[in-house]
Amino acid sequence: MRHSIASKLSAAALVAGALTGFSSAAFAHVGDHSGLSFVEGLAHPFTGLDHMLAMVAVGLWASQLGRPAIWLLPATFPVVMAIGAAFGISGRELPWIEIGIAASVLVLGAAVALALRPSLIVSAALVALLALLHGYSHGVELPASASALTYGAGFVAATLMLHAIGIAIGLLANAIPLRYVARTAGAAIAAVGVFLLATV
């Protein structure tokens, strides 16, 4: 069991690292500030507690749901997030974004804490909706000097890393002595979501 968990964690870390390296190499020569843009995008999800917790919670929830959700939810989030970012960059306005993002932390945290197991379609649709809000926020906050393409590659890579962290915690928590760790983490994330909603 421990060997299996260790193998899965190693694979998740390898995938996250490979994706980050691939993204930086693929976009390293686009525009004059492409390297800086990628680094800015990579750092952005780590600068906001709301983004960071929501993305880790997606990984946690995916690990609770098991296959195929364990790969589908972390794949859905960055794809739809990129679409949301395009909306944000285009200047289209979406109402109540800050409330929606704060609510996403509460909803995802509660899903983990309560170990909710909706159908795959429902869980993927919920993750997609929340990813759209987070992506829009990333797009709106695009630095004026940054390349949208390389900045986007950076925050997608960071998102995948945060999902991998959530999955790793969830897989470790599946071990019998740690079985309540994921749900406790979800409850803590939901509590932060309540606080964020109260302060929006």
Give the Cβ contact number of residue 90 at 10 Å.
9
Give the Å distances, CA to CA, from 113 to 35, 76, 110, 183, 200.
Answer: 39, 21, 5, 4, 23
- The whole-number pLDDT of residue 176 equals 64
Chain-centroid distance of CA 109 in Å reads 13
Print the domain residue range for 105.
2-199
Rounded distance between C-alpha atoms, residue 160 and residue 56, angstroms? 9
pLDDT 10s digits, 139-179: 888 877 778 888 888 889 999 999 999 999 888 877 666 66
What the block records as the tokens of 184 is 């406790």
At residue 3, does pLDDT exceed 80? no
pTM above 0.85, yes or no: no
pLDDT tens-digit readout, 91-122: 788 788 889 999 999 999 999 999 899 999 99
29 exposed, middle or buried (CB, 10 Å; 0-12, 13-18, 19+)? exposed
| Pick from 110, 96, 103, 101: nearest CA to 133 | 101
Q: What is the mean pLDDT of the chain?
A: 80
- In 3D space, the residue among 128, 127, 114 whose CA is nearest the CA of residue 183 turns out to be 114
User: Where are the strands (E) in the chain, listed by range?
Assistant: none
Q: Is the pLDDT of residue 61 over 90?
A: yes
Give the chain's domain count. 1
| Beta carbons within 8 Å of 137's beta carbon, 6+ residues apart | 51, 84, 88, 97, 101
Could you give the C-alpha distances from 73 to 60, 80, 156, 165, in angstroms and in order? 10, 11, 14, 14
> pLDDT above 70 covers what percent of the chain?
80
Distance CA 47, CA 110 (A): 23
Cα 27 from Cα 49, distance rounded (Å) = 27
Within 10 A of 130 (CB to CB), how many other CB atoms are there? 25
pLDDT over 90, % of the chain: 46
